[in-house]
Structure 1
Amino acid sequence: MSNPDQRARRLCLGLVIACFFSSHALADAVPKAVIVSPLASTNRTASGQPITLPAGRTTVAVSRYIIAPGATLPVHKHPYPRYAYVQAGHLAVYAADTGQRYDYKAGDFIVEILDGWHYGENTGAEPVELLVIDQMPEGRTTNTVLKP
């Protein structure tokens, strides 16, 4: 019978061999070419505010929005970070307090105004399609507050 050190060495060698063969099998299953195209990198919202994350445990929620041509969203705000990727259409976002207008089109990435009243409007002839990502404290089900 072998001593504990020899058993540990054999186990480590077995794991190394298993990892080697499984990594080659995995490499064969993954496409040879992967293209990464950075879309955005920022530490500020559209209005220039620093992005801060909720303290404690965080929920990430992903939604798809489709906004009909001519539709206007109600005035609202987001108390926690919200990001959107414009998949199609033309969207204008207005800061309700200042009237500042931000225009977005397909391929644009939006870091929404944080805790400031704003609204959006589809300014094009086709639906606006958004992929929206919210980061909010665990237990929250929405990151949108409508203006009373």
Structure 2
Amino acid sequence: MRTILKTVGAIVLAGAALAAGHAAFALDDTARQPVVVTPIASTNLTAAGQPIMLPQKDARVIASLFEIAPGATLPVHKHPYQRYGYMLEGELLVTNVETGAKTTYRAGDFIVEMLDIWHQGVAVGPGAVRLVVIDQVEGDVQNTLLRSKTTP
């Protein structure tokens, strides 16, 4: 019973720490290393300054690991639903094709991608880009639309 109470207490402490946004604490008396929660980002806007829009029905989350070779250029594309990225390695230069605005993302950066705006990425650093991408879509919708050569 004592072990169960100790475990429940640790879970409650972990939840409280996550709710607080940043904390370091030991899970139990025997723990040697604390759990550290470090906020990475907090925003309600996309990279283009738009409000974040979430699926209204039949929500689905898709998580992927992207690996982009040095010098590789992604095709011009846009996302009809919200997409987030967390840079693990490398440098990614993203250009808003509609405005020409450019942003370089590096390891440790969190990206709230543009919503329904044509953009393009290029791996500009000496190494490969590795990033975790999380999409929030409705149903089975694809979240990346490629611009055809005839699309303005």
Alignment TM-score, normalising by the size of structure 2: 0.78
Output the CA distance in 1 between the equivalents of 2:46 and 2:140: 24
| Pair 1:114-2:115 in alignment | yes
Output the CA distance in 2 between the equivalents of 1:135 and 1:93: 20
Structure 1 residues 25 and 91: CA distance shift in structure 2, 3 A: closer
Q: 1:47 is matched with which residue?
A: 48
Q: Secondary structure at the match of 2:93?
A: strand
Higher helix proportion: 1
Output the CA distance in 1 between the equivalents of 2:7 and 2:70: 49
Q: Which runs of 5+ in 1 are unaligned?
A: 1-17
Q: CA RMSD in A?
A: 1.6
Task: Look up the equivalent residue of 1:90 and give its one-letter code.
Answer: E
Output the CA distance in 2 between the equivalents of 1:56 and 1:144: 19
Q: 1:22 is matched with which residue?
A: 4
Task: Look up the equivalent residue of 2:76 and give its one-letter code.
Answer: V
Q: 2:38 is matched with which residue?
A: 37
Task: Tell me the CA shift for residue 24 of structure 1.
Answer: 2.2
Task: Tell me the CA shift for residue 123 of structure 1.
Answer: 0.5
Output the CA distance in 2 between the equivalents of 1:64 and 1:120: 16
Task: Look up the equivalent residue of 2:146 and give its one-letter code.
Answer: L
Task: Look up the equivalent residue of 1:23 and give its one-letter code.
Answer: L
Q: Secondary structure at the match of 1:35?
A: strand
Task: Tell me the CA shift for residue 138 of structure 1.
Answer: 2.0
Residues 67-115 of structure 1 show CA distances to partners (whole Å, capped at 9, x for unaligned) of 0000000000000000000000000000111111011100000000100
Q: 1:146 is matched with which residue?
A: 146
Task: Look up the equivalent residue of 2:86 and give its one-letter code.
Answer: Y
Q: Which runs of 5+ in 2 are unaligned?
A: 11-26
Equivalent pairs: percent with the same residue?
50
Superposed, which structure 2 residues align to 1:65-76 within 5 Å?
65-76=66-77
Task: Look up the equivalent residue of 2:104 and give its one-letter code.
Answer: D
Task: Tell me the CA shift for residue 139 of structure 1.
Answer: 2.5
Output the CA distance in 1 between the equivalents of 2:128 and 2:101: 23
Task: Tell me the CA shift for residue 25 of structure 1.
Answer: 4.9
**Larger Cα-atom Rg:** 1
